Amino acid sequence: MGAQRRGKAVAELPAVGTCQALAVEWSKEALQPSLPEKSFELIVVCDCLYENRDSWEALRSLLRRLPAPSATVLLASAMLRKPFLQAFVALLQEDGFALTSEEQGGRFGDVCIAFLRPPAASQQEASHDKETMAAVGEKVGRFQEKTSHAMSADKPALPVEWSKEVLQPSLPEKSFELIDQLKNVQQIQVSGGAFAAVLGDGFVVTWGSAFDGGDSSAVQDQLKNVQQIQASDHAFAAILGDGSVVTWGRAEYGGDSSAVQDQLKNVQQIQTSGMAFAAILGDGSVVTWGYSAYGGNSSAVKDQLKNVQQIQATGMAFAAVRGDGSVVTWGSADYGGDSSAVQDFLM
């Protein structure tokens, strides 16, 4: 990430005209803010960021905080990773950014570029930023008192943002007992930054980044008789013994299944892309939820999703095999969501 700031150049920084060019380590800046707010006229985000989805929240918080009101935010991506660029732009638009133009190919070669303007400053924006940063940089040492099958009430759970703990060690060495409590584990699933373990009696233990599903306390009472767990990059879904489903983690990336909860009955299998889920029901139909660009919306092919036997996924698309051997795909076209060119062979 790079930025240009108005004002007097600092001696140790390379000057560009009358501006400073600053190279910013965005993950560190998110945890330890040092740059002045609303003071940068140009912010350039490089291609390497988009596949590192674990950093998106930290980057969003910086882009809400740093641009001047008249600034331009430029996002550049190789054409191969254009879906990541589009997904990140969509998140910024949710924050109030305006997409002013897009360019690709031509003088830019095999690159696509998005130009955005920041939202107008408001109290709501400031509040949103504080809430996000409170979660991203959650203070290590804040204990959450919760009772679960694997953690007794007198041994509180300690959610740890490990990137901050690496930068600022504060936890005592060789003093945690969670590993001793993880016994008779039948399955472990991982999201982008958290773990979920199914124990032999059907209970679940989670740990890691709360952003990515490491804190399941909100649904702990529902996590009983769990048969199987699947995970996207930021959320988990558990199939219970009665065929129902419990989800937790980032809401927009599949952690909230309330919109389809009434349909999630007699679930046989769940598959995940990077930020969405697809469940096969007992009658062979399919229910999807999560981020639309990653296959969370299958409405375009809903009528075709019948007698489905199996589902597989890339990072941003799904493919379902039906009982007659044919295949139905949806999600990002660039990542396999469009199989029209080979559909005649998929019979």
Joined tokens for residue 144:
């959450």
Joined tokens for residue 105:
């190919």
Mean of the per-residue pLDDT values of the chain: 78
Nearest to 238 by CA among 279, 286, 282: 279
Joined tokens for residue 274:
């990077």
- The pLDDT tens digits for 174-185 are 545 555 557 789
Number of H helices, E strands in the chain: 6, 19
- The pLDDT tens digits for 291-340 are 888 999 999 999 999 999 999 999 899 999 999 999 999 999 988 999 98
Mean pLDDT for 274-279 is 94
- The pLDDT tens digits for 145-191 are 333 333 433 444 555 555 455 556 666 665 455 555 577 899 999 99
29 vs 35: CA distance, rounded Å: 8
At residue 69, the pLDDT reads 87
Helical ranges in the chain per DSSP H = 26-31, 56-65, 82-94, 123-136, 162-167, 178-181
Query: What's the predicted TM-score (pTM) here?
Result: 0.56
Q: What is the CATH number of domain 2-136?
A: 3.40.50
| Four-way CATH pick for 186-345: 2.60.40.1080, 2.130.10.30, 3.40.50.2020, 2.60.40.350 | 2.130.10.30
- The pLDDT tens digits for 197-244 are 999 989 999 998 888 899 999 999 999 999 999 999 899 999 999 999
Determine what percent of the chain falls in helix, strand and coil, rounding each to the nearest 5: 30, 35, 40
Mean pLDDT for 125-129 is 45
Could you give the residue range(s) of every CATH 2.130.10.30 domain in the chain? 186-345
Nearest to 334 by CA among 320, 318, 316: 316
At residue 178, the pLDDT reads 55
Give the pLDDT band of residue 123 (cuts 50, 70, 90). Answer: very low
Could you give the residue range(s) of every CATH 3.40.50 domain in the chain? 2-136
